[in-house]
């Protein structure tokens, strides 16, 4: 038998402020959110970061141009190759360095492999964030990532910190074993993406948790400078590979997938579709790759490189969005300014707007769907 309490005598509730992180496993690193909760509902959220700040931008000003290459690996440590690439592009622009044909193809192949790897991991981690019972996708994603990392390790000597792409080309030519393995791996990855699709896309529990959660409007996304799959999932067809084509992307036939809903589910579908397109690019690059030299600037010249006075901004479409390096040269062998336009930091800026009005459990999902790397946020 329930007793009716008159409205005036109802329990008065108060909002509560809690800290999520910096060691919360769902924040993917050391990241803290100050949540103000009304019951289970988020009424305010304030992201706090800086726990992983290593001062890379300042440190880089005291190192020569080539010594900075290993630092770029450590920004977004999931996709080292694309970080190297963005830095190489900026330096090539600054010093006017030509890149041989074969090196461009190698860059595209490894860069797109990195994209597949990053997107599969992002999907895996999103599922991990949804709940412990779905640990399987992240393990499957890690398995395929290991195969891709095997190739990167074979070429570069290190799995996660390749330092492989340098201004003027790549460090060394691909080993002989690389191409046969890649040819076997690409159809395999296709099958794997299809399998992920079968396993996850139609799952009712996932849809209930993801559809309509964390909606990001296209206008807000553009205003906040959000790029990458998060932007495209909100319906903006903007991909630097097409919009400001760099390297040799204009030679390949691929599409930029777009989803319009802008919620967690759309971002998931977006990543799946992009990974498929990346494999298409790899197939074409594998077919067309020419023989020839792989670098126009061997280490001994590169280490003495003194770009002319000036500035340059090199940007690429990294798996997470626009990654740019802004270099200012004063004519010496060290950069005067080394600025990183990191993707994860800018993609994180609208976290509050996406989370307001949702439950605490959804905050974790939304953060997972943005796909940040704390090494990239804090630098």
Partner 1 sequence: MYGTGLLKGLSVTLRHMIGTFVTDIRKFPRRYFTDGNHPTRSPEPYLHGTFSIQYPEEKVPMWPRFRGPLVHLRDPETGQPRCTACGMCERACPHGCIKVEGEGKGKERKPTRYEYNVGRCIFCRQCVESCPFNAIELSRFYELACYDKDTIWDLPRLLELGDKEVITEQGQFWGET
CA distance 352 to 363: 9
Smallest Cα–Cα separation from 166: which of 240, 126, 107? Answer: 107
For partner 1, the closer of residues 195 and 255 by Cβ is 195
For partner 1, the closer of residues 176 and 250 by Cβ is 176
Binds partner 1 by CB under 8 A, chosen from 181, 217, 341, 359: 181
Helix (H) or strand (E) holding 274: helix 264-288
For partner 1, the closer of residues 84 and 227 by Cβ is 84
Binds partner 1 by CB under 8 A, chosen from 95, 97, 106, 155: 155
Give the shortest CB-324-to-partner 1 separation in angstroms: 22
CA distance 221 to 78: 24
Measured in whole angstroms, the distance separating CA 63 from the mean position of its chain's CA atoms is: 26
Q: Do you know the residue count of the chain? A: 379
Q: Binding to partner 1 by residue 332, rule CB under 8 A?
A: no
Q: What is the SS3 assignment for 123-190? A: HHHHHHHHCHHHCHHHHHHHHHHHHHHHHHHHHHCCCCCCCCEECCEECCCCCCCHHHHHHHHHHHHH
Binding mask 110-129 for partner 1 (x = CB under 8 A): --------------------
Q: Binding to partner 1 by residue 180, rule CB under 8 A?
A: yes
Q: 326 has which bridge partners? A: 313, 339
Question: Cis peptide before 332, with omega less than 30 degrees from 0?
Answer: no
Q: Binding to partner 1 by residue 204, rule CB under 8 A?
A: yes
Binds partner 1 by CB under 8 A, chosen from 141, 200, 236, 366: 200
For partner 1, the closer of residues 181 and 280 by Cβ is 181
Binding mask 263-302 for partner 1 (x = CB under 8 A): -----------------------------------xxx--
CA distance 4 to 122: 48
Binds partner 1 by CB under 8 A, chosen from 40, 46, 98, 177: 177
Q: Determine contact, residues 349/334, Cβ cutoff 8 Å.
A: no
Residues in 36-55 that interact with partner 1 by CB under 8 A: none
Stretch that binds partner 1, among 93-101, 165-173, 311-319, 351-359 (CB under 8 A): 165-173
For partner 1, the closer of residues 15 and 136 by Cβ is 136
**Distances in Å between the alpha carbon of 309 and those of 64, 65, 334, 345?**
15, 14, 11, 29
For partner 1, the closer of residues 206 and 252 by Cβ is 206
Q: Which two tokens stand for residue 260?
A: 């319009």
- Which residues contact partner 1 by CB under 8 A? 63, 66-71, 136, 140, 143, 146-147, 150, 153-158, 161, 163, 171-173, 175, 177, 180-181, 184-185, 188, 191-192, 195, 198-205, 207, 298-300, 303
């Amino acid at each position: 038998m329930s007793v009716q309490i008159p409205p005036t005598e109802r329990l008065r509730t108060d909002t509560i402020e809690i800290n999520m992180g910096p060691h919360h496993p769902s924040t993917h690193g050391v990241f803290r959110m100050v949540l103000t909760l009304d019951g289970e509902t988020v009424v305010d959220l304030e992201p706090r970061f800086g726990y992983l700040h290593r001062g890379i931008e300042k440190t880089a000003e005291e190192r020569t141009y080539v010594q900075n290459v290993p630092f770029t690996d450590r920004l977004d440590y999931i996709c080292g190759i694309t970080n190297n690439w963005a830095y190489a592009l900026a330096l090539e622009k600054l010093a006017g360095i030509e890149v041989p044909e074969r090196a461009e193809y190698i860059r595209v192949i490894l860069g797109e492999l990195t994209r597949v790897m990053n997107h599969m991991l992002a999907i895996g981690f999103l599922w991990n964030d949804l709940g412990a019972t779905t640990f399987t996708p992240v393990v499957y994603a890690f398995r395929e990532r290991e195969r891709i990392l095997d190739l990167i390790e074979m070429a570069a000597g290190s799995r996660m910190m390749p330092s492989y792409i340098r201004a003027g080309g790549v460090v060394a030519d691909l080993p002989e074993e690389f191409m046969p393995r890649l040819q076997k791996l690409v159809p395999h990855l296709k099958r794997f993406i299809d399998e992920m699709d079968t396993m996850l896309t139609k799952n009712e529990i996932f849809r209930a948790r993801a559809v309509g959660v964390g909606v990001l409007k296209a206008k807000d996304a553009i205003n906040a400078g959000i790029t990458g799959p998060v932007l495209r999932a909100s319906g903006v067809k903007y991909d630097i590979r097409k919009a400001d084509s760099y390297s040799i992307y204009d030679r390949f036939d691929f599409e930029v997938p777009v989803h319009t809903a802008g919620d967690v589910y759309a971002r998931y579908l977006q990543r799946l579709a992009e990974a498929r397109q990346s494999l298409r690019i790899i197939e074409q690059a594998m077919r067309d790759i020419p023989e020839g030299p792989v670098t126009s600037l061997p280490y001994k010249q590169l280490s003495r490189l003194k770009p002319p006075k000036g500035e340059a901004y090199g940007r690429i479409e990294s798996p997470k969005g626009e990654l740019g390096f802004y270099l200012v040269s004063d004519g010496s062998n060290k950069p005067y300014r080394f600025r990183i336009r990191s993707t994860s930091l800018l993609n994180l800026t609208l976290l509050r707007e996406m989370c307001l009005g949702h439950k605490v459990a959804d905050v974790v999902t939304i953060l997972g769907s943005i796909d940040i790397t704390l090494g990239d946020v804090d630098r």
